[in-house]
Amino acid sequence: MRGGGSPCLREGFALRLEHRIRTSVALRTGLRLTRNGFRRGLQYRGAHMVNNAASAIFGVVFIAIWRSVLSGSAGRRAAAPLHLSVAWTAHYVVASQSLLWITVFLPFGLGLPEAVRNGQVVADLTRPVGLWALHMGREAGGAAYNLVYRSLPVAAGLGLMVGLPRPQTLLGVVAALALTAVAVWNALCLNYLVGISAFWTTEARAAHNLLVALVFALGCAEVPLRAFPAPLRPILVWLPFGSLLSTPALAWMGSVGLPAVVAAVAWALTLSAVCILATRAARRRLAVQGG
């Protein structure tokens, strides 16, 4: 039988094939964007290594502060119910200080505000890859670069002084890696939302500063979750900011709770949906004023 099957089946096969080709092209494009984002960072490796030294100084400051408050007998007494110790807090600072480079110090709005300002966004919207995928792919490469050339050197430097946090089991390692990936995803989504706000406002920079402030304060950058007042802790666990720093840091310490894991994954899904909806709204919002 020529052609094999009914026209309806043939059409279904063609659609599936087209879908597979599109998925394959999208994946390859995404990987290429990520690779380019990674390569872009390589241009400034030397300068970044100098900055890593500064980042390590910040880490040493926080480690020293925790050591000073926990070293006395009164400090130990106050810390005992919270299960805080000098070594534990030092490891937490190592983890959180290293994570900063892949979840907090991302380019302002993933470069979208600049693209909106200079009109580049029009060309970006005509590309065969979506605006969200374009910026997420590109900056995922930047985050990968930051992981290799910023986070790991900072962790190594601080680890030489106070040791590295290590999950005790293989499952713990897998969970830590997965939650770190979720943290990067959530950070990219939040920064994308900051960037896409440039379609509606000229004050996207303020949104960026607000995001950084909230992540530092509510994401437990310097102070571990368990040191916060008890009524605040459940609130902090369910906010998205904890999924960027506190949750992956605690996962690397091997002491992350189930609610924090659920919250991180839930926020990843929610933020992805919001990013897609915001991109659609931004596309409708765009007005080209001629050339």
Q: How far is the CB of 223 from other proteins (least distance, A)?
A: 5
Helix, strand counts (H, E) of the chain: 13, 0
Quote the distance between the C-alpha of residue 126 and its chain's center.
27
Q: How far is the CB of 61 from other proteins (least distance, A)?
A: 5
- Of the pair 75, 172, the CB lying nearest other proteins is at 75
Contact map string, positions 186 to 225, toward other proteins, x by CB under 8 A: ----------------xx-xx--xx-xxx-xx---xxx--
Kindly tell me which of 69 and 129 has the beta carbon lying closer to other proteins. Answer: 69
Q: Is 226 in the site for other proteins (CB under 8 A)?
A: no
Of 27 and 61, nearer to other proteins (C-beta) is 61
Please identify, using beta-carbon distances, which residue of 174 and 232 lies nearer to other proteins: 232
Q: How far is the CB of 48 from other proteins (least distance, A)?
A: 6
Query: How many chain residues are in contact with other proteins, going by CB under 8 A?
Result: 41
CB of 43 to other proteins, least distance (A): 10
End-to-end CA distance of the chain: 56
290 sits in the region (left: phi over 0; alpha: psi -120 to 50; else beta) called: left
Task: For residue 55, give the amino acid letter.
Answer: S
142's tokens: 């930047």
Is the CB of 55 or the CB of 191 nearer to other proteins?
Answer: 55
Whole-number minimum distance, CB 65 to other proteins, in Å? 6
Instruction: Map tokens 């690397």 to a residue.
Output: 252
- At its nearest, how many Å lie between other proteins and the CB of residue 39? 18
176, burial (CB in 10 Å: exposed 0-12, middle 13-18, buried 19+)? buried
Burial of 96 (0-12, 13-18, 19+ CB in 10 A): buried
Using an 8 Å Cβ cutoff, are 38 and 145 in contact?
A: yes
3-class DSSP state of 80: helix
Backbone angles phi, psi at 200, to 5 degrees: -110, -25
Q: How far is the CB of 28 from other proteins (least distance, A)?
A: 33
Which is nearer to other proteins, 139 or 222 (by Cβ)?
222
Contact 100, 55 (CB under 8 A): yes
Q: Residue 24 to residues 30, 71, 131, 258: CA-CA distances in angstroms?
A: 10, 56, 18, 35
Per-position x/- string for 42-81, each x denoting binding to other proteins as judged by CB under 8 A, each - no binding? --x--xx-xx-xxx-xx-xx--xxxxxxx---xx--xx--
Q: Which is nearer to other proteins, 34 or 52 (CB)?
A: 52
Query: Where do contacts with other proteins occur on this chain (CB under 8 A)?
Result: 44, 47-48, 50-51, 53-55, 57-58, 60-61, 64-70, 74-75, 78-79, 82, 202-203, 205-206, 209-210, 212-214, 216-217, 221-223, 227-229
